Structure formats: structure tokens, C-alpha cells
Amino acid sequence: LQIFLGALAFSFFAKGFSGSYVKSMSSQIERRFEISSSIVGIIDGSFEIGNLMVMVLVSYLGPRVHRPKVIAVGCLIMSLGAFLSVMPQFLMGRYNYERITVTVDNSSMSVSACSPASSVGHPVTAATEIPSAMKNLGCKKTTDSYLWLFVLMGNLLRGIGEAPVMPLGVSYIDDFSKEENSAFYIGLVRSSGMFGPTLGFLLGSFCASLWVDIGVVDIDAISINPKDTRWVGAWWLGLLICGAVNFIASLPFWFLPHSLPKEGENEKLKISLSPVRGDHCKTAPAVQPQLKFSEAVKDFLPALKKLFGNPVFLVYIFLTILQYNSLVGMITYETKFMEQQFNVSVARAIFLIGVILLPITILGMFLGGFLIKKFKLHITEMAKFACITFIAAYLLNLLYFTCSCEVLRVAGLTAPYSGLKHLSSPKNNFMASCNADCGCMLDQWDPVCGGNGITYMTACFAGCKSSIGTGKSLVFRNCSCVEGQGHGLGNSSAVLGQCQRESCTKAFPYFLALQTACAFILALGGTPTYMIMFRSVSPDLKSFAVGIETLGGRVLGGLPAPIYFGALIDETCLKWGTKTCGGSGSCRVYDTKAFR
């Protein structure tokens, strides 16, 4: 039993590790494949779909199969899925982020984003010729845009592989340990499994801060930093590690027996019991499993009826579904939210979740299990305890409304070109009299921050005519739109990247503290709620109940939540990126108030 506990804890660790890593990379995948948040939601949901395809079958046949071996196969399938997701990185070309074309003045090594000379004579062609030339460059590989299907398939496989681990492992422990210990053991395995997500997020944070084509591209030549919304980290690197970890997790399960003697039972009883069960397992002829299977199917509906006739179980399922919806939606878009609201780079957001949020959640889960054991809580007391924690967490959640943060001021998008009247046409509200003769391309996003604290979509829209420096330290000079601000001279420069928002950076620690408090309180109520399910169904249905609960949570929570959250978040987008071949890519700027 100790060996099984150790192996199961490690497999919980492995599935949490790869699961959280893939979650943390969702924004990187969104940008690398230039897709919208709702498609990211679908990729995320494919994991749940795979899980569902086998979950019910696995939990129901649970006691009738060789549980350790099935878990081993599951771990192998998970590692396969991780390796499959990496494929696009080696099939796609390098990642070219959106940049504007600049004209270089050879005499002074200065680049000009606004080239009035070319646009005076033929303003129309200047704006149209460049994109067609770029189109021919980047569009040899149109298939690139569908390569995210590899990630989707890999996720699907990971879902299939993960299904047996939880229901079979938990029911195996519950069958062969003393009743008073089983809650403690299950809590132990679940909470040691929680270190997986922590390390997964840490790995995610490390990989997100490396450039995607690391080792192939000269890093100094890249003019954007990890805070930029066009930055893509080395998302594929961690997936290789995840695959390896899952492979290792499968090894010990091949050597464990079909059944164990129950913990703490009489020695004699152990001796008489084990050979019978062992022999039965080894010498059963090939016909027998089929017989078993047909019997199993016959019992299926009555078992289902029995479970759903149980009001406590029904309420519990309903609660699970609601919680899954809020938690999954939140976790999936957490990093994107932090990045957009508080100017935190994705790598740092992922790091903070891994270092602060997850350990606190583990602590809460563990403490919850410990309190049950310490005070020997009965089912009604557990229910009261859980109820109080959830109400407290809900009330705390209302405080999120105070963590406000102003919207990023982008000229022509969320802020006027101050004082300068707009040109009339509604589509071109990015154009103003100060940049009308620059021949800017409307669909580009390569932001610069003016000396006046306003962000411009590209240096061209700021009307910049000269520059000094190269690479990341490039500074644009003589920007006509920045000048007309009444700030006096000398302020007409612009630097690469979006402007920082002071108030947001200040609000961030409060937001983190609040989130940590909520996570702790919710986790505290998590273990008792989970035990309520075990104590309220009859022993022979335990494994089945875990399966149905996971199924309900997945189908009506884990699967739809990322998709509808993603679609809603897409609604708050102010400016979409553009793919090399035209068509909209991933979102660059959100209306932060609506997003929040």
C-alpha cells in the first residue's frame, strides 16, 4: 500500500504538472498560432473531451480490471499526448512578430517610420503595395494556421490518459486501507499531487521568458521584451519535459498487484485471502472477462438510478458543476488578465500563480483534511464547515470590484489625438492631421509610448520622422503627434512598447493578496466537500460516484467554461493583431474595465 501511495502521488504530480503547464502556456499558444481566445478555449476543452470519452467506462469497470496496470497505460498515453503537442514547433517556420516597415536614412543611421516623401505622390499605392509583398513572403505556408490542431490532438490524448488515474487510484486506496485512514491518505495523495501544478507553473514561467525560437535566432536582434503582447515564449520546451515526467510516472504501476490485503486485518486472514484472489486473477480463462463485462453493463442503469436517487449526491454534483465553471474559467485566463490589467509580463504572472497561489491552495486542502481527522467530523458537520467557507469566499470575491485600473490610453482607440481634430472617416479614426501624410498601414500593431504618456499603435501613427539607437533601445524622434500636446519641446520622442500605467502597478499587490485569501478559503472547504460524497453513497458505488462527479464537473464545467469565457473576453478586445497573410490574429489590447 505504501508503494502504491507513493506511485499514485507521483502520477498525480505528473498529471498536475503537465496540465498546469499547458494551461499556463495558453496565451503563448494563442499568439504563436495567431488564434482568438475562444479557439484557445476549445484547445483547452479538448482535454476534457478526451477525459470524458473514457471516464465513465473506466470508473465503472474500476474494481473489475487490473487497476495499477490501467493507470500505467494512462500515464503512457499522457506522455504521448505531450510529445504530439510539440510537433508544430518543428513543422512551422520561425515566428515573425508584427513590425512596421521603416525607411532607413543611410547618412545618419536613423530610421523613419513616417515617410512623407513616398506618400505625397502616390498615397494609395504606398499603403497597399507593402502588404502584398509581405503576403507573398509569409504565405507559402498557409497550412501553418491549422497546426494548432496538433496541440488539440495532444491535449485530447492527455485527457484520455488522465481518466483512469483518479477514480481507480482513489478507489484502490479506499478498498485496501482502514476506514479512518482513507480520508487522510486520499488527502495526502491529492495534496502531494498539488506540487505538480506549482512546478508546472514555475516551468511555464521560465519557458515564457525565453524567446520561442531559442537557439536558432539571435536574441539581441529582437526588439520586443516579454511584457509585449506580441512576445511568444518557448512553449514547446516544457512540453518535452512534461512528456518525460509522465513516462517515468507510468513505470512503478506495472509491478503492483491486482489487489492488496486490507490494512490492519488479522495476519491469518491475510494469508488465506491473498492466494485466492491472486490465483483467480492469474488463471482466469479468456472467456471470463466478457462474461463480467456483460454483467457489468446490466448493472449500469440500476447503479445510476441509485446514485441519482440520492439527494445529497445530487446537491453535491450541482455544487461541483458551479465550482468547476468558475475555477476553470478563472485559471485559464488568469495570466492574460494579470498581463492586461496590471502590466505584468506573462512569465511573471505565471510565476506568481505558481509560487503564491498554488502553495496556499495546497495548504488549504491539507488543513481541511487534517481538521476532519482531528475533530472526527461527521457528514453534517462537514457540510456546515464547507458551507461557511464558501459563503466567506463569496463575500471576499466582491472586493475584486475595488481593484480597478484605468484603460490603456491608445491614440485613436481609447484616447483622442489630444486637441487635434480627427479626420472625418469613421474607419480611420486612427488618422489625425498630424499623421495624415505618413501613409500608415491601419492593420499594424507595433506600439510606441510617446513622451506624453499616450501609446500609439505604431511609430508611424505617432508621426515619427527620425530615430537614434538600435534593437530594444531604439528611440524615435520628431514625432509630430506627440509634439502637438502643449508639453513644450523636447518631449516629442517615443520609445518602443506600451506605456506603463502607474495606478495599475500599485493595485497589483492588493489584487494578489485578495486572490490568495479567496483561494485559501475555497481550498479549506474543498476536502470536506469531497468527503461528503464518499460518506453519502453506498460503499460499492464509491468508484462510480467519483467517476460521475468528475464527468459532471467536466462536461458542464471544465469543457464549456474556457470556451464561453474566451468568447466573452474576445468581446472586450479593442485591437486585433494581423496575420502575415491577412485575417485577424490574436488580440493585442483589451478594454480592461469590461474585461474585469
Instruction: Give 537 or 403, the one with higher predicted confidence.
Output: 537
CA-based angle 497:231:584, to the nearest 5?
Answer: 95
Say yes or no to pLDDT of 543 above 90. Answer: no
First-to-final CA distance of the chain: 47
* 425 three-state secondary structure: coil
Burial of 465 (0-12, 13-18, 19+ CB in 10 A): buried
Domain with CATH 1.20.1250.20 in the chain: 1-103+144-263
* 106 three-state secondary structure: coil
Least confident of 105-119, 349-363, 438-452, 552-566: 105-119
Say yes or no to pLDDT of 289 above 60. Answer: no
Model confidence band, residue 9 (pLDDT cutoffs 50, 70, 90):
very high
The whole-number pLDDT of residue 568 equals: 93
Q: Are 426 and 438 in contact (CB under 8 A)?
A: no
The counts of H helices and E strands in the chain are: 22, 9
CA-based angle 585:78:354, to the nearest 5?
Answer: 65
Distance CA 79, CA 67 (A): 19
All residues at 6 or more sequence positions from 282 whose CB lies less than 8 Å from its CB, including other chains: none
Q: Name the average pLDDT for the chain.
A: 80
The whole-number pLDDT of residue 418 equals: 60
Which amino acid is present at 85?
Answer: S
Instruction: Give 278 or 4, the one with higher predicted confidence.
Output: 4
Cell numbers that stand for 245 in this block: 515526467
Distance CA 3, CA 10 (A): 11
Residue pLDDT, tens place only, 471-500: 778 888 888 887 655 554 455 788 888 888
Instruction: Give 423 or 58, the one with higher predicted confidence.
Output: 58
Say yes or no to pLDDT of 564 above 80. Answer: yes
Distance CA 451, CA 475 (A): 11
Distance CA 278, CA 262 (A): 14
* 61 three-state secondary structure: helix
Q: In terms of Cα–Cα distance, which of 241, 81, 83 is closest to 162? A: 81
Burial of 268 (0-12, 13-18, 19+ CB in 10 A): exposed
* 348 three-state secondary structure: helix
Instruction: Give the HSE-up count for residue 136: Cα atoms under 13 Å, Cβ half-sphere.
Output: 4
Domain 1-103+144-263: CATH class, spelled out: mainly alpha
List, in sequence order, every residue forming a beta bridge with 464; answer none if it has no partner.
479
